[in-house]
Amino acid sequence: MEIDPKRSRERMVREQIMDRGIHTPRILSVMSKVPRHLFVEEALTPSAYGDHPLPIGQGQTISQPYVVAWMTDELDVRPGMKVLEIGTGSGYQTAILAELDALVYSVERVPELYELARNRLDSMGYGRVRLKLDDGTLGWPEEAPFDRILVTAGGPSIPQPYLDQLADPGMLIMPVGPERRSQTLVVLRKEGGRIGRKNLGQVMFVDLVGRHGW
């Protein structure tokens, strides 16, 4: 089945994102621009703009479009900010952050996904994005501090390395919960040496695996 990518993106943004209350112009713009169908296997292309996550191999997924837009909107990324992404996956969220003119540093622990994402992002012109193959729960200490940290996998608690590597002021978003595949999306704000926490709602992400995760 063939799809019209541009029309599919427009419909995705209108029905899945705007209709759920996200109206930030720059978020709508980048969600309308990035070709999501190029971040999934060819066999899944007809489903690329559907209102659901999709498998990308190695037991991992690409999040549903609304969740990507929601988390990105909450993160409030500004041009020139240093953003640490934990869990490169397909590279789709990475591309969204790059389109917001952020300096993106992304860590992936699965070698096969790391290679696919690196080649895909390079071929699409996102050469400024920096990728690292490593235990994502360790963050990227050599490049810290980060103005924003976005974690696309759920863990039992927020790893201490993330708190240490978050700039002041800075913001972190991560799915957190005591049970696997069932979390609360948490926003942390660091300012003046203090950390505030806000819960956004229930989500379901793949496991954050590593020394400070599952």
Active site residues: 63
Task: Give me the residue label for tokens 């505030």.
Answer: 196
Exposure letters 93-110 (e unless 16+ CB within 10 A, then b): bbbbbbbbebbbbbbbbb
Strands (E) in 47-99, as ranges, are 54-57, 60-62, 82-86
Quickly list DSSP for 103-140: EEEEEE--HHHHHHHHHHHHHTT-TT-EEEES-GGG--
The C-alpha atoms of residue 169 and residue 106 are separated, in whole angstroms, by 20
Task: Give me the residue label for tokens 């860590």.
Answer: 107
